Structure 1
Amino acid sequence: MLSVLHQKHWKRTVLLICLLPCLFGCGSGSSESTTDPPIPEAEPVNTTGSGTHEPQQTAAGVKEFDGIQFEVPAGWKQVPLSPAQRGMISASFQIPEAGDGVRLTLSSVGGGVEANLERWRGQFQLPPGEKPIQKTIRVDGVETIWLDLRGTFDTGPSLRGAAESGMRMIGVAIPRSPRDFYLKLTGPREQLLKAEPEFEAFLKSARFKQ
């Protein structure tokens, strides 16, 4: 009698063991996986724009922009162009030794020299009694126009959105074909005073390769 009871108990135990996988693993085919979903990959960091965190490159040495070769002074930093600048600006520089507010851009633009000089004049509100300083400088045998403006600088809502007083700009126009070449140095007046000698040396180092 005892043996029979043991056999029945053993059968129930075996049956329970067989049913365990179904109790925990069986179900509809739409059961959710217990594996965590993969973490989305972050987008690659953009290193080609012109934001405040963009890397700067030491720029000293001979460099060529739009067929013109320049001797870049030691200490100048070349700043990567933003998406909005590409296609309009050929190169952008900072001159830290003169001050954080000094910027130099190089570009090749159509429309004629006088029209672009007039556009620069329109960006400045000069103090009473002050006039633009314009002169001619020979660069590698070519006459270039040097335009010096001082006052309140307003590039319009598309760029800064606010006028800045106490500013200065030295713009240089080099006649070229099919598009003229421009150098535009901007910044606070006292900082531009420090940058002016190196900028003029940079300009006179130009050699036309094309």
Structure 2
Amino acid sequence: MMMILARRFYLFVIVCSVLGPDRTALAEGEMISLGSGKVQLSAPEGWKVEQPRSRIVEAELSIAAEEGDEQGGRVTIMSAGGTVEQNVERWIGQFTPSQGKTMKESVNRDTKKVAGVDVTIVDISGTFKDQPRGPFGPSVDRKDYRMLAAIIPTANSGNYYVKVTGPAKTIAANNEKFVKFIESLQLK
């Protein structure tokens, strides 16, 4: 518990020092530091730091909605347990395929070497079973949603999970930023 509190305090200090009192949007290249500085990612321009909605989320960012989308995207970063397969299956379970598609057609999965580790990349689309009040609250079906996710293994800090969810149009417009975000990974 103390380790979690220390991580959160460290993240709070980093975020406050980066953002200052009146700024929430990250400038391109500003570092997001996790795991006592052992995991670092370079922020895409325009993504904004938010207060995490859940205590298990170490960092949360938001993405502005594209024209025509009612909501923007949500980016969460956390360290958690479970295997790569268990987490991928759980994420797939949060979606139902769009009409006329199978779940297999709605999921793309790849592995990419970044910072010397094999990062698992998952891209899922369909109707997202959002749980805005947490894992024990009721779910809300959000049609035409998409999730981009990465599982980053670390030697001493377990796996880190980066998830970007939101309306498909907004996420598509930020796909390249997500890729660059993951490719900016530095492990210390």
Distance 1:169 1:160, change over 3 A: farther
Of the two, which has the highest radius of gyration? 1
Deviations 1:107-130 (A, max 9, x none): 100122111111001001113242
Displacement of 1:162 in angstroms is 1.4
Displacement of 1:92 in angstroms is 0.5
Structure 1 counterpart of 2:142, which letter?
E
1:18 maps to: none
Q: How does 1:72-87 map to 2 (within 5 A)?
A: 72-82=43-53, 85-86=54-55
Match of 1:114 among 68, 85, 105: 85
Distance 1:179 1:155, change over 3 A: farther
Match of 2:136 among 143, 158, 162: 158
Displacement of 1:178 in angstroms is 4.5
2:42 maps to: 71
1:136 maps to: 111
Distance 1:179 1:144, change over 3 A: same
2:17 maps to: none
- Report SS of the residue matched to 1:154: strand
Deviations 1:31-71 (A, max 9, x none): xxxxxxxxxxxxxxxxx9xxxxxx97222312211221111
Match of 1:59 among 26, 31, 53: 26
2:169 maps to: 190
1:171 maps to: 149
Where does structure 2 lack aligned partners over 5 or more consecutive residues?
A: 1-11, 13-21
Displacement of 1:140 in angstroms is 0.8
Distance 1:94 1:159, change over 3 A: farther
Structure 1: distance between partners of 2:150 and 2:137: 21
Using CA pairs below 8 Å that are at least 6 residues apart, which structure has the higher relative contact order? 2
Where does structure 1 lack aligned partners over 5 or more consecutive residues?
A: 1-47, 49-54
Displacement of 1:165 in angstroms is 0.9
Structure 2 counterpart of 1:91, which letter?
A
Match of 2:74 among 103, 118, 131: 103
- Report SS of the residue matched to 2:144: strand
Count of residue correspondences: 153
TM-score by length of 1: 0.66
TM-score by length of 2: 0.74
1:94 has 2:66 as partner: no
The alignment's C-alpha RMSD in Å is 2.2
Which of the pair is proportionally richer in strand? 2
Q: Percent identity?
A: 31
